[in-house]
């Protein structure tokens, strides 16, 4: 069998000449030819030996039809073991090269990761992220969130922008109507979390590992760096340890201290007597409530307002009932401002109110509801409706105007716009307007509810509680005392994070309690001198 080891292939004409010449030499078949070596095998060769024909490099024979003009190559016998060794060596070098490339790529990734962690752990970067989050949070507090575009058209018009530049175009264009769920805000929260984790892994954890080690002072020179240092002649370390341990000191002795975009929020205005699906008000999210909660309905049994003696609003109340998908009431509660209802991770707050309809009887008819619409918003709410006078009045826009500012009174105006009178709902006292007798049975209110589902609230509370706990702990006094037996001398040193004067006085009093040992030799001088 021919063995080929080559870098380049011989021309076709030269190959044919070599083949014919070799056949004429020994009448054995020629093998494959390549580059600078031609491997041959024949029956006359020794076992384990390969015959190689070496062709001179750099010399090219011109094509010729005569075979005799071609010089025969020099035949050389090479042991098979030598060829196998060379092949194995080449394979090993290739494997080492691949491994070296993989190691180099791993080193590049590690260096890049360390660089990213160092950048995230930068204190100026963390402070900048914190200020940016605080600024966006302030914007979200000033600008009402989650309203319909029409609300921003009305309150932030182009003709009269707030602060001279803030109009609905800026608010809707920059996503300031939903700051807390915008990609910029959530991205800043993710970066701040990354900075905190990077700072913890690069700074805090190494400090904790060092603080957990027991720190022993092995020489008297080390005691000079402590806040308080003293030397006791004719004293033993065991006696000092007993005194300090009894007073609760930590003794070191040696002889000779884990934010948005997962919350869901929605608002809804529901008339009394109607209901709504929780999922329609909240939307959906991967960390939202269970499907059974989202499919449940909230039925508004009644909405009413408590008034003070001077006529001002005292409190808003909504009687709510939770109905599951099987039409079973699972919970009910009368909520009010600052007294929400919670079910399945969803919290419902009383935030707004309105008047949806006025219930009337006209000329002794059966009661019917006349819808009312909001004419003014804000603190001075005003709701109105229109009762046409016959078919012709409806076509001509003539009729009785009905206005209400609260659930206590209803004001009537005739078709000319003149004031007629006021009636209280449920008084059963009729009023005549344009020869029409009207009795007001009721004003049907609407409750404005805000629904929230935020799984991060317990985490925030836990983090705040941990912050308060660590703050309190930081104000607690923590003192440490070291002692070293140096011959007959007992060297004592200590430090405290707070109340250092009291600690010095208390330590001196404790050192006075250490008994002298008369059997020890008389010391010449203090080892600290």
Per the CB < 8 A criterion, the answer to whether 425 and 441 are in contact is yes
pLDDT tens, residue by residue, 383-408: 999 888 776 555 566 788 999 988 88
pLDDT band at 319; cut points 50, 70, 90: very high
Tell whether 80 and 28 lie within a shared domain: yes
Residues 234 and 288 both lie in one domain: no
**Pair (358, 402) in one structural domain:** yes
CA dist., res. 464 & res. 466, Å (int): 5
Share of the chain above pLDDT 70, in %: 60
pLDDT, residue 398, reads: 78
Listing DSSP states for 425-448 in one string gives TT----EEETTEEEEEEEEEEEEE
Strand blocks (E) in 308-435: 313-323, 329-336, 341-343, 346-362, 368-371, 373-376, 382-388, 399-404, 410-413, 419-423, 431-433
Question: Using CA atoms, how far apart are residues 135 and 49, in angstroms rounded to an integer?
Answer: 84
* Residue from 409, 64, 127, 457 nearest 287 by CA: 457
What pLDDT digit, counting tens, does each position of 261-297 carry?
556 778 888 998 888 888 888 765 555 566 667 788 8
The pLDDT-based confidence of 511 (bands split at 50, 70, 90) is confident
In a shared domain, residues 427 and 484: no
- Across the strands, what pairs with 369? 359
Mean pLDDT score of the chain: 72
Query: Which range marks the domain in which residue 176 is found?
Result: 123-198
Tell me if 339 is assigned to some domain: yes
Do 429 and 320 fall into the same domain? yes
Q: Please determine, for residue 55, whether its predicted confidence score (pLDDT) is greater than 70.
A: no
Domain count, the chain: 4
Residues 390 and 486 in one domain: no
Mean pLDDT across 7-22: 49
Residue 506 belongs to a domain: yes
Average pLDDT over residues 472-483: 72
Residue 397 to residue 390: CA distance in whole angstroms? 10
In this structure, the answer to whether residues 299 and 347 fall within a common structural domain is yes
Confirm if 412 and 425 have CB atoms less than 8 A apart. no
- Strands (DSSP E) contained in 24-109 are 33-34, 37-40, 49-54, 74-79
């Amino acid at each position: 069998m021919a063995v080929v080891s080559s870098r380049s292939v011989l021309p076709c004409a030269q190959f044919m000449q070599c083949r014919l010449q070799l056949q004429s030499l020994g009448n054995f078949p020629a093998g494959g030819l390549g580059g600078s070596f031609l491997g041959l095998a024949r029956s006359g060769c020794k076992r384990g030996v390969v015959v190689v024909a070496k062709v001179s490099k750099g010399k090219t024979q011109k094509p010729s039809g005569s075979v005799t003009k071609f010089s025969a190559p020099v035949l050389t016998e090479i042991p098979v073991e030598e060829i196998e060794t060379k092949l194995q060596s080449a394979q090993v070098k290739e494997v080492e090269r691949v491994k070296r490339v993989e190691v180099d790529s791993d080193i590049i990734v590690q260096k890049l990761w360390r660089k990213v962690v160092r950048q995230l752990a930068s204190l100026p970067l963390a402070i900048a992220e914190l200020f940016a989050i605080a600024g966006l949070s302030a914007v979200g507090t000033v600008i009402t969130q989650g309203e319909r575009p029409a609300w921003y058209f009305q309150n932030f018009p182009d003709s009269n922008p707030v602060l001279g530049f803030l109009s609905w175009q800026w608010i809707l264009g920059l996503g300031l109507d939903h700051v807390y769920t915008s990609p910029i805000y959530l991205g800043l929260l993710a970066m701040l979390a990354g900075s905190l984790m990077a700072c913890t892994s690069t700074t805090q954890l190494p400090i904790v590992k060092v603080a957990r080690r027991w720190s022993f002072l092995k020489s008297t020179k080390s005691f000079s760096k402590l806040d308080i240092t003293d030397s006791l002649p004719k004293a033993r370390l065991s006696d000092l340890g007993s005194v300090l341990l009894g007073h609760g000191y930590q003794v070191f002795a040696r002889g000779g201290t884990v934010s948005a975009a997962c919350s869901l929020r929605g608002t809804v205005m529901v008339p009394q007597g109607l209901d709504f699906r929780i999922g329609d008000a909240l939307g959906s999210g991967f960390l939202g409530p269970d499907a059974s909660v989202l499919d449940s309905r909230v039925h508004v049994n009644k909405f009413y307002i408590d008034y003070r003696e001077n006529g001002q609003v005292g409190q808003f109340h909504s009687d709510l009932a939770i109905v599951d998908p099987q039409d079973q009431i699972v919970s009910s509660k009368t909520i009010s401002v600052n007294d929400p209802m919670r079910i399945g991770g969803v919290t419902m707050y009383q935030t707004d109110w309105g008047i949806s309809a006025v219930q009337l009887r006209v000329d002794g008819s059966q009661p019917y509801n006349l819808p009312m619409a909001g004419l003014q918003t804000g603190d001075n709410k005003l709701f109105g409706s229109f009762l046409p006078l016959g078919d012709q009045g409806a076509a001509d826009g003539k009729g009785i105007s009905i206005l209400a500012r609260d659930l206590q009174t209803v004001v009537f105006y005739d078709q000319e716009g003149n004031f007629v009178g006021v009636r209280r709902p449920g008084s059963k006292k009729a009023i005549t307007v344009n020869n029409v007798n009207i009795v007001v049975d009721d004003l049907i209110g609407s409750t404005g509810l805000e629904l929230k589902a935020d799984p991060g609230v317990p985490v925030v509370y836990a983090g705040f509680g941990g912050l308060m706990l660590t703050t309190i702990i930081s104000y607690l006094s923590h003192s440490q005392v070291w002692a070293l037996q140096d011959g007959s001398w007992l060297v004592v040193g200590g430090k405290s994070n707070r109340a250092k004067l009291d600690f010095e006085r208390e330590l001196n009093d404790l050192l006075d309690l250490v008994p002298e040992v008369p059997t020890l030799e008389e010391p010449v001088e203090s080892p600290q001198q």
